[in-house]
Amino acid sequence: MRRKYIRAICIAISFLCFLSVVAPVSATTISDLQKDVKQNQSQLNSVNKKISGYEDEQDAVEEEINDLDAEMVALLTDINLIEEAIRDKEEDIAQTQQDYDAAVAVQEEQYDSMKIRIRFMYERGDASYLEMFFGSSGMGDMMNKANYVEELYEYDRGLLEEYKATVQQVAELQDELEEEKSELETSKTELEDEQSYVEEVLAQKKEEYENYSVMLSKAKQEAAAYTAKIKQETAQIKKLEEEERKRKEEEERKRKEEEERLRQEALLASQGGGEDAESSSDSYEEKTETPKPSSSGGGKGQQIADFACKYIGYPYRAGGTSLTEGADCSGFVMAVYQAFGYSLPRSSYAQAGAGREVSYSEAQPGDIIYYGGHVGIYIGGGQIVHASTERTGIKITSATYRSIITVRRIV
């Protein structure tokens, strides 16, 4: 009941955290939004590290639980074996008790029979010997009877000693069995104490595991909230960038219209105003000449971007790191940078922490763009090259086709 109550409180707190993070976007400029994205990304990275830590700790607790379960099975098996051994000992003791009682009875019976014969032969004193002598037919007969009496006495005495030894042996065996039974019962008690301890520890570990489950659930909800906020802000940035692009296009259109109007005016003036008008027109054209577009990027980053584009059309392969045989998204990025002597982590999540972070508005060819579970290499002009899917392989895509989590500069 207490555990359910704690879990319910944690879920309620997580929900409130979710509501507090996923709030309407208040920033209105691209710069402010980029700052918010950077801050939320930092929070997301922190939560993801927390999740990773919780998962590691929970895995460790799960291993302990598995070990305790195995120990519990072994303890219960040992207890069952000892209980069977105790039952066997009790049966042996019962049988030994029967053997002891039978031996004692035979001993007592033999002793009683010997006493009767002794009384018959010796209690009458010399008369019995005289009767034995005078009743004999001769000396040989008398000696035979004397020898018989002596042998009978020795026989009874030997038999009695034998039964005494049997009784003593059975009694010693019974004592030994009782001692063994006592040892087994002691071992059983110790095992049961150990079982109680393991059950207590196991219960604690299971509760600890459940606590980690609650904390993981809370942290994952926080991560989902920050991811949603980043996605919302990235969408807003994209919207503002699109509005800025349209505004510039409109300004460019108006500028060209104004240039055309002035050109027409100059042309009319040149037709009616001679060389001065022509000179004025030439001067105007010199002043209004539009600059040539500059090359997109340069240096090592541009070289990396150009090199990556050489593999457009090559296959995508899950878990692959070969530029020609097939690579997944992070394997492709790692292999491209490896060709230039840079060592990057293998996973896309780890690559999202490589180098240093820059804003998307500052992105240059060669930068790595991370989208959450996916990475690509920025090649300029608002495009990336990346290992997309098994169907499409390595290809070029718009850099804003998904919500951008972070842009990393390696060179």
Q: Answer whether residue 344 shows pLDDT above 80.
A: yes
pLDDT of res. 393: 94
pLDDT value at residue 229: 83
pLDDT given at position 148: 61
**Catalytic residue at 10?**
no
User: In angstroms, what CA-CA distances link 92 with 79, 103, 106, 177, 222?
Assistant: 20, 16, 21, 7, 67
Share of the chain above pLDDT 90, in %: 23
- Domain range list for the chain: 2-234, 301-409
Q: What is the DSSP letter of 125?
A: T
Give me the CATH code for the 301-409 domain, please: 3.90.1720.10
**pLDDT tops 90 at residue 289:** no
Angle, alpha carbons 64-67-71 (nearest 5°) = 135
Q: Is the dihedral of CA 38, 43, 47, 52 positive or negative?
A: positive
Has residue 274 got a pLDDT over 80? no
DSSP state of 291: P
Q: What is the pLDDT of residue 354?
A: 94
Statement: residue 338 has pLDDT above 60: yes
Taking the C-alpha atoms of residue 191 and residue 74, their distance in angstroms, rounded to an integer, is 10
Are 103 and 97 within 8 A, CB to CB?
Answer: no
Considering the candidates 10, 17, 309, 374, report the single residue annotated as catalytic.
374
> 63 or 333: which carries more pLDDT confidence?
333
Task: Of 210, 215, 225, give the one whose Cα is nearest residue 54.
Answer: 215
pLDDT value at residue 137: 56
- Would you call 346 helix, strand, or coil by DSSP? coil
Domain at 2-234: CATH architecture: Orthogonal Bundle (1.10)
Instruction: Give the model's pLDDT for residue 376.
Output: 96
Backbone angles phi, psi at 314, to 5 degrees: -75, 160
289-303 mean pLDDT = 56
Verify whether residue 374 is a known catalytic residue. yes
Average pLDDT of 338-351?
Answer: 92
pLDDT of residue 44: 84
Q: Decide if pLDDT at 332 tops 50.
A: yes
Q: Which residues contact 244 (CB under 8 A, 6 or more apart)?
A: 30
Does 275 have pLDDT greater than 50? no
Mean pLDDT of the chain, nearest integer: 78
Q: What is the structure's pLDDT at 94? A: 84
d(CA 306, CA 296) in angstroms, rounded, equals 11
Residues comprising the chain, all counted: 411
Confidence band for 219, pLDDT divided at 50, 70 and 90: confident
pLDDT, residue 292, reads 32
369 neighbors 401 (Cβ within 8 angstroms): no
| Mean predicted confidence (pLDDT) in 179-185 | 72
Q: Identify the band that residue 126 occupies on the pLDDT scale cut at 50, 70 and 90.
A: very low
Q: Give the pLDDT of residue 408.
A: 97
pLDDT of residue 286: 37
In terms of pLDDT, which residue wins out, 191 or 200? 200
Q: What is the pLDDT of residues 363-383, one digit of tens each?
A: 999 999 998 888 999 999 999
How is residue 309 written in tokens? 């584009």
361-395 CB burial, b ≥16 within 10 A, e <16 = eebbbbbbbbbbebbbbbbbeebbbbbbeeeebbb
Most confident of 128-142, 222-236, 282-296, 346-360: 346-360
Distance CA 168, CA 98 (A): 14
Higher confidence at residue 21 or residue 201?
201
Q: What gap in Å lies between CA 335 and CA 328, rounded to an integer?
A: 10
| Angle at CA of residue 345, ends 343 and 349, nearest 5° | 150
77-107 per-position pLDDT tens digit: 777 877 787 888 788 888 878 877 877 777 6
Which tens digits make up the pLDDT trace of 238-264? 888 888 889 888 988 888 888 888 888
Prediction pTM value: 0.41
Q: Which two tokens stand for residue 61?
A: 């607790």
Q: According to the model, what pLDDT value does residue 359 have?
A: 94
